[in-house]
Structure 1
């Protein structure tokens, strides 16, 4: 099957994570992505650890398959290079604070005058308008402002950091990709582009839909770690086995809960985690703590009760299930060494061959191709 975005040209002015991951997904579906970076140093992500022979692994993972143009956006002759690309581009992705692109002469209205069909996607923390539009922030601030961090942030003595970058990826990358694709479909009917205002803090709200229902609509107080899915019940918690490994107990449905209780031989009078969740949980913890995870793992698999030993990222990459499905089949070249590419939620039939090995372009490799000065 032909790649659905094979004729789409994307101009990528974004850095670090949300925008680069969004354009990576577009590239994986066939789009030609031209990444613009500062001359000499490139974007900051090129210098982050860990590295292989001086090449950043994180940068390589997020920027494989893109073309690199090193250009000073403040230079007087910049528009001589950019105008031909702007005239034929389908999508532009930028991640500056509101107003920066305007000062560079690349704001939406200026670009729209050059190419009315262009889909212009701006990704920021708080959006293009509003009292906090210009405020600095990172993922932790965005999920904090969205109320999500308060739902499961650990104890007063031992605060727990979020395990993933929910706002950056869930509130930035995914909404950007979804809305860019929607805009491309809409353009087929109208012939016109649009300005997409993606605010990471707003996109984070979706990940706690139940908290919206309970805390906003119903107006109920939600205690830290006290809801059904944040540890308020014994049947949906993390416990520690004798070897220190964590056991993920996700036995929400009664049939799974009873099956799990049978595995650990939980007494019948201590299975009601609705009326007395803490007493119930204490006994579950005591029983799971008697044996190592190697003891519990096979028993939980056999019981098929939504309970499992928590894996490390390296263990997950070796999991026979993921390998049987080819999740890590796609390869990436970093400093001449082959490594697994980042798994992305793009259907296999829309991507290039899994046997192809991608890589991130060296800084400025494609300058001549696009009419820019040699870096």
Structure 2
């Protein structure tokens, strides 16, 4: 494959969510990613398995562990997303694998991290952003916080942070450094994503509670509104020049309630007025009314609508992969653009070819297959 990461080999021990997302990002940009899967393929959407090869190896057998170690000896990096200690018990922990391959970057994806009081506890995105202080501010005042799907911890604070950590460590190796472990905890990553909020808190600009701050819905110029057709519009008119265009476009330029933008004492009245006003027309009429005005107004689209939006269509933000609509690789690199992603392989489709590439003889491959080490 072409791409900035062409020439790198990554072994992924298949899990769910953020680990596969990290591997997909690396594979999209040209890394050769070998996904070691369970018999049956395991749990999770197969779309996250694009842009890599697939092997099925029974890691509960000594022969399977030996094969996995051989693959890791040939790799630049490893990705695993099990609870702390699982890989060590399998005989595939970082001490052993980095001992086999001193330049290996060993990426570990967990919710709570490799140590700490919660390290061995189960959890999901909602729990990780809860203790990171992120979930508390999301939602509607007076109601419980609303989980933002599983984007923040699993994918932003998890998979993307692991991808960044892997590339940072791989760059260190290329500059002469030793292999090392990347401990990517979703709690750490979610907290990092909220760095600006911590800055607002230090500056006295933060209020605890769902929807209580300027960027979480308390301000009339940064929130969502319902339209007459049951669809929704987003308003992000933070800067005064954008707010002025918005107010003028709504016919409120001379309204005394809208004389001040940044006085919180008037926000409740302004929100009530805008709620009523936006509810008088369909969403797309509002979009047309503010088109090219610079008011920072955009429609809130469904996934199907997003794929068809003219801006996304012009940029190729969404593409067809194996006959299904998926997001295109991101970000975009001018000199080493990514190839179109390849569809997910059949589970275990590449096992024999990978073993042959490691120097296993046809006879040895047949023995391992007969023993149930792979299929």
Give TM-score, length-normalised by structure 2. 0.88
Structure 2 contact 132–191 (Cα < 8 Å) conserved? yes
Q: Do structure 1's residue 301 and structure 2's residue 287 form an aligned pair?
A: no
Q: Does 1:166 align with 2:152?
A: yes
Change (3 A) 1:233 1:346: closer
Offset, 1:175? 1.1
Superposition TM-score, scaled by structure 1 size: 0.88
Distance (Å, rounded) in 1 between the aligned partners of 2:197 and 2:187:
15
Are 2:325 and 1:340 aligned?
A: yes
Partner deviation per Cα, 1:235-286 (whole Å, 9 max, x = no partner): 1111111111111111111111121111111252111352311011111111
Q: 1:360 aligns with which of 344, 368, 374?
A: 344
**What is the root-mean-square deviation of aligned Cα atoms in Å?**
2.1
What is the DSSP-based 3-state SS (H/G/I as helix, E as strand, rest coil) of the residue aligned with 2:211? coil
Q: Name 2:257's counterpart in structure 1.
A: 270
Q: Per-residue deviation at 1:289?
A: 1.3
For 1:242 and 1:345, locate their aligned partners in 2 and report how far apart those are by CA, in whole Å. Answer: 35
Q: Which ranges in structure 1 are unaligned for 5 or more consecutive residues?
A: 46-57
The answer for unaligned runs of 5 or more in structure 2 is 356-367
Take 1:184 and 1:293, find their aligned partners in 2: how far apart are those partners?
47
8 Å CA contact 1:239, 1:248 repeated in 2: yes
User: What is the alpha-carbon distance in structure 1 between the residues aligned to residue 110 and residue 78 of structure 2?
Assistant: 14
CA distance, structure 2, for counterparts of residue 81 and residue 177 of structure 1 = 25
Which range moved further: 21-30 or 161-170? 161-170
**Distance across 2 between alignment mates of 1:344 and 1:169:** 14
Shift in CA distance, 358/203, structure 1 to aligned 2, threshold 3 Å: same
Q: Of residues 53, 59, 80 in structure 2, which corresponds to 1:67?
A: 53
Query: Residues 8 and 213 from structure 1, CA distance in 2 versus in 1: closer, same or farther, beyond 3 angstroms?
Result: same
Deviation, 1:82, is 1.9
Residues 14-67 of structure 1 show CA distances to partners (whole Å, capped at 9, x for unaligned) of 31211111111111121111111112x22112xxxxxxxxxxxx31x2111211
Give the Å deviation of 1:353.
3.5
Alignment of 1:1-375 (within 5 A): 3-39=3-39, 41-45=40-44, 58-59=45-46, 61-157=47-143, 160-215=146-201, 221-266=207-252, 267-271=254-258, 272-273=260-261, 274=263, 275-329=265-319, 331-333=320-322, 338-348=323-333, 349-354=335-340, 358-371=342-355, 373=369, 374-375=374-375
Contact 2:69 2:92 survives alignment (8 Å): no
SS at match of 2:244: helix
Contact 1:28–1:351 (CA<8 Å) still a contact in 2? no
Structure 2 residue matching 1:249: 3-state secondary structure? strand
- 1-structure distance, mates of 2:282, 2:144: 25
User: Do the aligned residues in 2 keep the contact of 1:172 with 1:199 (CA within 8 Å)?
Assistant: yes
Instruction: State the Cα deviation string for residues 131-167 of structure 1 (Å, max 9, x = none).
Output: 1111111111111111111112335557533145110
Counterparts in 2 of 1:209 and 1:344: CA distance versus 1, 3 Å: same
Is the contact between residue 123 and residue 198 of structure 1 (CA under 8 Å) also seen in structure 2?
yes
Distance 1:18 1:305, change over 3 A: same
Q: Equivalents in 2 of 1:282, 1:146: separation in Å?
A: 32
Q: 8 Å contact 1:256–1:305 — kept in the other structure?
A: yes
